[in-house]
Amino acid sequence: MISIKTFTFNPIQENTYIVSDETGEAVVIDAGCYFENEKKALQNYLESNNLKLVRVLNTHLHFDHQFGNKFLFDTYGILPEAHKDDLFLLERVVKGGNILGFPMLEDAQKIGNFLEENQEITFGNTTFKIFHVPGHSPGHIVFYCKAEKVLFAGDVLFSGSIGRTDLERGDYATLINNITEKLLILPDDVVVYPGHGPTTSIGEEKVSNPYL
């Protein structure tokens, strides 16, 4: 059985998740910790719960979702994992952060491993399946745990909304098609943990999301 800890980090109110199971192994999904106290809060949670961080996963590489990747690499020696189609975003992290009021003095943390459609990744006794869901960004992926009926959706699907598509290489039709064909076919009781805002469910978004 998994345990999910949600942190809401940085001024953009991004959701960072620590997911662990009974083995004590844990992953971080979308390390958005920007301020020092946020980094410390994440570290304290891992240490106070005797968790062993084994993977750092990214749904996508917009800067607010990977502020903390370098901190986690420097602290735990673990390189982040993401889809290759979002690599171009790493080149824009420092410039984009500075323009938007998030001073960054160091280049973005390099990616250690590329994740792909239908790949299964494991930690402890837990398995995530990866779906490639472009539209918000070209390399956006989501993590689905069938056994626990949870979906870590990044900025694809929100409570009552969807990810914006006006950013570089975003595409509205692509996003809608991918949500419809890959996510809405999941069971209604799958809980959705989005990149911003409150949790929701597949069933709730089917009936109440105005974009779908």
Residue-wise DSSP of 59-80 = S---GGGTTTHHHHHHHH---E
- For residue 111, give its domain range: 3-148
Residue 179, domain member (yes or no): no
pLDDT of residue 101 exceeding 90: no
In a domain, 45, yes or no: yes
Is residue 190 included in any domain, yes or no? no
For residue 189, being part of any structural domain is answered with: no
Residue 105: its pLDDT value, please?
A: 59
Q: Which one-letter DSSP state was computed for residue 186?
A: S
Confidence (pLDDT) at 91: 85
What pLDDT digit, counting tens, does each position of 15-67 carry?
A: 999 999 999 999 999 999 999 999 999 999 999 999 999 999 999 999 999 99
Q: What is the pTM of this model?
A: 0.96
The answer to whether the CB of 155 falls within 8 A of the CB of 136 is yes
Write out pLDDT tens, residues 151-173. 999 999 999 999 999 988 999 99
Q: How many domains does the chain have?
A: 1
Residue 156 lies in a domain: no
